[in-house]
Amino acid sequence: MSRDSRDRAHASTAEGEDEVAALYRMAGPPRELAEAEVESIREAARETWRAHNRRRAAGRRRVWLGAALAAGLAAALLVGLGRPTPAPAPLSVAGSIQRSVGQAQVTSSVGGVGGPAAVGTPVPVGSGLTTGGDGRLALALRSGGSLRLDHDSRVRIDSARSLVLEAGALYFDSGEGPASGMVVHTPLGVVTDVGTRFELRLLDAASPGGGARLRVRVRDGEVRVGAPAGHVRAGAGTDLMVAAGGSTRRGRLAPYGEAWSWAARTAPAPAIEGRRLVDFLDWAAHEMGTGWRLGEPRPAVPLEETILHGSVEGLTPEEALEVVLRGSGLEYRWAAGGDLVITAAGG
């Protein structure tokens, strides 16, 4: 063989080897094969080698291309057999259950999620939440804020910032951060949160007043209501009724009192171990819709220096307030304006 022939043969060999290497790189690392699969591939390789010997006289270039194609087929076989089934995309979690009382369920089967709404249960976007006649629940939202459902209520979580109230009542507290922009769709209008606490309740024709209606109660802050008759803004202390035809009726409502008691009773209790008494009082007053201040006789120890121990798990804010103050040698009374007045016990 001449030098030129040898050089062309080596070039063809290198070219074929480069093609094979490229095919293997594209295929990626193969999985471990069963013995039967391995033997099948070995037989294919033997047949390729025998064919190579038979066609050797036809020229090395064609043989090497054939070997490259056979190697490519083997690589394709490995890829087809070895590539794992892609894992399903992770579900987007809207929040988790903080408190569950009575009959309360995560009703959607999205991603296999369903069943009782136990504390700590993650709630994916697309799920539904349902409470029975004795049920209530609280959901901590990842987008910020707390969502609570009253008895006989049904809500669908469309996204991290979009809910659908299908029946009953919900209470939303956007927390202390910036306006959450939560949007709640109802059959009678769309309600947008502007950084606030509010209740929405769907009333049917059998309820006092007659006719399907949406009641919007704003504890503080503001909401925007998109009703058939146009957009309406409702500020703190507003009790707004939206009728099916789009007409509205306004009233006034204090931020404390029985109207808000179900939402307060559904509030998840904070962990108080090692926390300051003043922080606990801020939480209790927030949930009860009021403020607090010191009265006479004053406590002997400043409240900022009083550290709590124990737990108030399972108690309502008012029950927790009674227990914590009694254990701290304190008591409270309601002032005329609705504030809590904290005094030393026996005052």
Residue 25 has pLDDT above 50, yes or no: no
**Fold for domain 93-260?**
Jelly Rolls (2.60.120)
Amino acid at 4: D
Residue 29 has pLDDT above 60, yes or no: no
State residue 165's pLDDT score: 98
Q: Please give the structure tokens belonging to residue 27.
A: 């295929």
Contact, 84 vs 111, CB < 8 A?
A: no
Mean predicted confidence (pLDDT) in 81-109 = 73
pLDDT in tens, 179-189: 568 999 999 99
Q: Which residues of 111-128 are buried (b: 16+ CB within 10 A; e: fewer)?
A: bebeeebeeebebbbbbb
Facing residues of 105 across strands?
A: 116, 130
Mean predicted confidence (pLDDT) in 95-100 = 95
pLDDT in tens, 132-148: 999 999 999 988 899 99
State residue 41's pLDDT score: 57
State residue 180's pLDDT score: 65
Domain ranges in the chain are 3-82, 93-260, 269-344
Angle (CA) 116 145 166, round 5°: 55
State residue 51's pLDDT score: 61
State residue 136's pLDDT score: 97
The band of 262, judged by pLDDT with boundaries at 50, 70 and 90, is very high
Residue 281 has pLDDT above 60, yes or no: yes
The band of 28, judged by pLDDT with boundaries at 50, 70 and 90, is very low
State residue 147's pLDDT score: 96
CB count within 10 Å of CB 28 equals: 12
CA distance 116 to 21: 55
Mean pLDDT, the chain, integer:
80
Residue 214 has pLDDT above 70, yes or no: yes
State residue 50's pLDDT score: 64
Strand order from edge to edge, sheet including 330-334 = 292-294, 340-344, 330-334
**Fold for domain 269-344?**
Phage tail protein beta-alpha-beta fold (3.55.50)
Mean predicted confidence (pLDDT) in 33-38 = 52
Helix/strand/coil (H/E/C) assignment for every residue in the chain? CCHHHHHHHHHHHHHHHHHHHHHHHHHCCCCCCCHHHHHHHHHHHHHHHHHHHHCHHHCHHHHHHHHHHHHHHHHHHHHHHHCCCCCCCCCCEEEEEEEEECCEEECCCHHHCCEECCCCCEEECCCEEEECCCCEEEEEECCCCEEEECCCCEEEEEECCEEEEEECEEEEECCCCCCCCCEEEECCEEEEECCCEEEEEEECCCCCCCCCEEEEEEEECEEEEEECCEEEEEECCEEEEEECCCCEEEEECCCCCHHHHHHHHCCCCCCCCCCEHHHHHHHHHHHHCCCEEECCCCCCCCHHHCECCCCCCCCCHHHHHHHHHHHCCEEEEECCCCCEEEEECCC
pLDDT in tens, 117-133: 999 999 999 999 999 99
Among 160-174, 219-233, 264-278, 281-295, the least confident range: 219-233
Please tell me which residue, 85 or 214, carries the higher pLDDT value: 214
State residue 210's pLDDT score: 74
Contacts of 205 (CB under 8 A, 6+ apart): 211, 212
State residue 91's pLDDT score: 56
